[in-house]
Structure 1
Amino acid sequence: MIPVMKPWLGEEEATAAADAVRSGWVAQGPRVAEFETRFAERVAAPHAVAVSSCTTALHLCLHLLGLEPGDEVVVPSFSFIATANAAVYVGATPVFADVELEDGNLSRRTVEAALTDRTRAVVVVHQGGMPADVEPLYALCRERGIALVEDAACAAGSTHLGAPVGTGAELAAWSFHPRKLLTTGEGGMFTTTEPELASRARRLREHGMSVSAAERHQSRQPVLESYLEVGFNFRMTDIQAGVGLVQLRKLDEMVERRRMLAACYQEALAGIPGLRTVHDPGHGESNFQSFWVELGPQFPLTRNELLRTLADAGVSARAGIMAAHRQPAYAGHPHGDLSTTERLTDNTLILPLYHDLSDEDQGVVIGVLRRAAESRAVS
Structure 2
Amino acid sequence: MSEQMQNIPIAKPWMGEAEADAAKRAILSGWVTQGPEVAAFEQEFATYVGAKSACAVSNCTTALHLALLAVGVKPGDEVITVSHSYIATANSIRYCGALPVFVDIEPHTYNINPTLIEAVVSDRTRAILVVHQMGMPCDLKAIVEVTRRYNLPVIEDAACAIGSEILWNGEWEKIGKPHGDIACFSFHPRKVITTGDGGMLTTSNPEWDKQFRLWRQHGMSVSDTVRHGAKQVIFETYPMLGYNYRMTDIQAAVGREQLKRLPEIVARRRLLAEQYREKLADVRGLKLPTEPVWARSNWQGYCVRLPEECDQKQVMQTMLDAGISTRRGIMCAHREAAYQIEAWSCGSDRLIESEQAQDRTLVLPLFHQMTEEEQERAIAVLTTACQV
- TM class by smaller structure: over 0.9
SS at match of 2:54: strand
In the alignment of these two chains, the number of paired residues is: 373
- Cα contact 1:71–1:119 (8 A) shared by 2: yes
1:261 partnered with 2:264: no
C-alpha deviations, 1:191-240, integer Å up to 9, x for none?
11011111111111111111101211122321111112111111000000
What corresponds to 1:147 in structure 2?
153
The residue correspondences of 1:237-248 to structure 2 (distance < 5 A) are: 237-248=248-259
- Cα contact 2:85–2:131 (8 A) shared by 1: yes
Q: Which of the residues 220, 226, 245 maps onto 1:209?
A: 220
Q: Which of the residues 346, 356, 366 maps onto 1:343?
A: 356
What corresponds to 2:288 in structure 1?
277
The residue correspondences of 1:106-185 to structure 2 (distance < 5 A) are: 106-161=112-167, 162-168=172-178, 169-185=180-196
* Deviation larger for 210-219 or 151-160: 210-219
* Deviation larger for 179-188 or 277-286: 277-286
SS at match of 1:329: helix
What corresponds to 1:3 in structure 2?
9
What corresponds to 2:243 in structure 1?
232
CA distance in 2 between partners of 1:274 and 1:102 (Å): 14
What corresponds to 2:234 in structure 1?
223
CA distance in 2 between partners of 1:80 and 1:281 (Å): 23
Q: Which of the residues 275, 284, 298 maps onto 1:287?
A: 298
CA distance in 2 between partners of 1:112 and 1:353 (Å): 36
Measure how far apart 1:286 and its partner are. Answer: 0.2
What corresponds to 1:15 in structure 2?
21
CA distance in 2 between partners of 1:55 and 1:61 (Å): 10
- Cα contact 2:305–2:357 (8 A) shared by 1: yes
CA distance in 1 between partners of 2:121 and 2:86 (Å): 21
SS at match of 2:79: strand
- Aligned AA for 1:82? A
1:371 partnered with 2:384: yes
The residue correspondences of 1:296-307 to structure 2 (distance < 5 A) are: 296-297=307-308, 300-307=309-316
CA distance in 1 between partners of 2:50 and 2:256 (Å): 16
* Alignment gaps of 5+ in structure 2: 1-6
- Cα contact 1:313–1:368 (8 A) shared by 2: yes
CA distance in 1 between partners of 2:213 and 2:331 (Å): 32
* Deviation larger for 164-173 or 353-362: 164-173
What corresponds to 2:4 in structure 1?
none
- Cα contact 1:54–1:189 (8 A) shared by 2: yes
- Aligned AA for 1:321? I
- Aligned AA for 2:65? H
SS at match of 2:120: coil
* Alignment gaps of 5+ in structure 1: none
What corresponds to 1:91 in structure 2?
97
Q: Which TM-score applies when normalising by structure 1? A: 0.96
- Cα contact 1:130–1:155 (8 A) shared by 2: yes
CA distance in 2 between partners of 1:223 and 1:131 (Å): 45
- Cα contact 1:40–1:191 (8 A) shared by 2: yes
Q: Which of the residues 296, 304, 310 maps onto 2:319?
A: 310
- Aligned AA for 2:313? N
Measure how far apart 1:38 and its partner are. Answer: 0.4
Measure how far apart 1:147 and its partner are. Answer: 1.4
Measure how far apart 1:302 and its partner are. Answer: 1.2
CA distance in 2 between partners of 1:10 and 1:84 (Å): 34
- Cα contact 1:107–1:136 (8 A) shared by 2: no
The residue correspondences of 1:348-363 to structure 2 (distance < 5 A) are: 348-363=361-376
CA distance in 2 between partners of 1:13 and 1:103 (Å): 33
CA distance in 1 between partners of 2:149 and 2:156 (Å): 18
Q: Which of the residues 5, 20, 26 maps onto 2:32?
A: 26
CA distance in 2 between partners of 1:215 and 1:344 (Å): 49
Report the aligned-residue RMSD: 1.1
* Runs of at least 4 residues off by over 4 Å: none
- Aligned AA for 2:18? E
- Cα contact 2:60–2:198 (8 A) shared by 1: yes
Q: Which of the residues 73, 79, 85 maps onto 1:79?
A: 85
Measure how far apart 1:70 and its partner are. Answer: 1.7
C-alpha deviations, 1:74-106, integer Å up to 9, x for none?
110010001001110011111111010110111
What corresponds to 1:325 in structure 2?
334
What corresponds to 2:109 in structure 1?
103
Task: Work out the percentage of aligned pairs sharing the same amino acid.
Answer: 48
